[in-house]
Structure 1
Amino acid sequence: MTPRLADALRDAELIHDGATLDAAIARMAAEIHADYRDDDLPPLFVTVMHGGLPFAAQLAFALGELGLDLEFDYLHATRYRGQTTGSGLAWLHRPATPMRDRRVLLVDDILDEGHTLHAVTRWCEDQNAEEVRTAVLAVKLHDRGLEDIEADYVGVEVPDRYVFGYGMDYHEQGRNLPAIYALAE
């Protein structure tokens, strides 16, 4: 039986509320805009599904308000498949837009240990992208991450606990919560 989101929320800790996340996204948009505003070609804005969708939408709107045009695509690669622990990476969809000589901005919900972000970054590089940068809403604080992977743009930090909301799921539930929560310890 799938655990219920309502049960998890009852004992969960609010880590970042919606206002905090809105401010973090606005700050990130300003940083990204400064890095891409002089480009002749819009950056290829690639959302990592499903978790990156809510964050990517908000970030894209914030960038649009600053006047930065984007070309959109997505990829779907997952290690969790509805579970609370990761396993091997499964590719469910690769971007259709050619990346050769393009500046690519990968947008995802969380950087935990970095396996997914590392794999998709390397794949984009193998597609001859001119540059690949990463934007994540949250970075989990621990020392288990891959040494050579860091996000270029980070919204907030979260504790080394299972977190959900704002794209991150609890057994495929709660992605549309407008805040980030951590399961009770």
Structure 2
Amino acid sequence: MANKALGLIEVRGMLGAVLAADAALKAANVELLGNYSIPGGLTTVELLGDVAAVYAAVEAGVDSVKDMNLLISSHVIPRLDEQVERMLMKKYEVKNNEAEVDSSVEEEENESKEESTKEESQENSEEDSTNEDTENPPEVPEEKELEEMKVVDLRSLAYKRNIQALTKKEIKYANKAELIRVLVKEGMEDK
């Protein structure tokens, strides 16, 4: 980690951020961590890579925006401390996970629309079998396995487990994240 560096380019607006990031990424082999915007239009582009590559990338990014009067400041932190790198990675993992959840919610809504007739028929048959399944409900898989399952399968498992936290109607319209949260909680209570 001793050869890692963090490059920061602070610009006005999203236009400046896109121009600086594009020029920086084309100039050197660096990783774009992302950008951080604050109210008032200031945006910081964050780059990570080898020290020499980050210096070259930041220089190219600065050159691309300074003629347009978009540059505020730039800085390179050579030999980035491991803890700072973990802090940055953690920050962007959380944002990426939120974006993934947002996109997965859209996918789930599309899946649920396509499979609504299938679910209605399953719901009717599952309601009949719910009474039989309450004596020996199926085990709740680990959270990792739940995340790999389709929304329809998660709903089916929730019906079979006869979860008290959600009504049948709430199960029918719950998104993947909500179903996983409730099923994991239910599985922990069983243990």
Tell me: higher relative CO, structure 1 or 2? Use CA pairs within 8 A at least 6 residues apart: 1
Q: Which has the larger radius of gyration?
A: 2
Same fold (TM > 0.5):
no
Please report the TM-score for the alignment, with normalisation by the length of structure 1: 0.22
Please report the TM-score for the alignment, with normalisation by the length of structure 2: 0.22
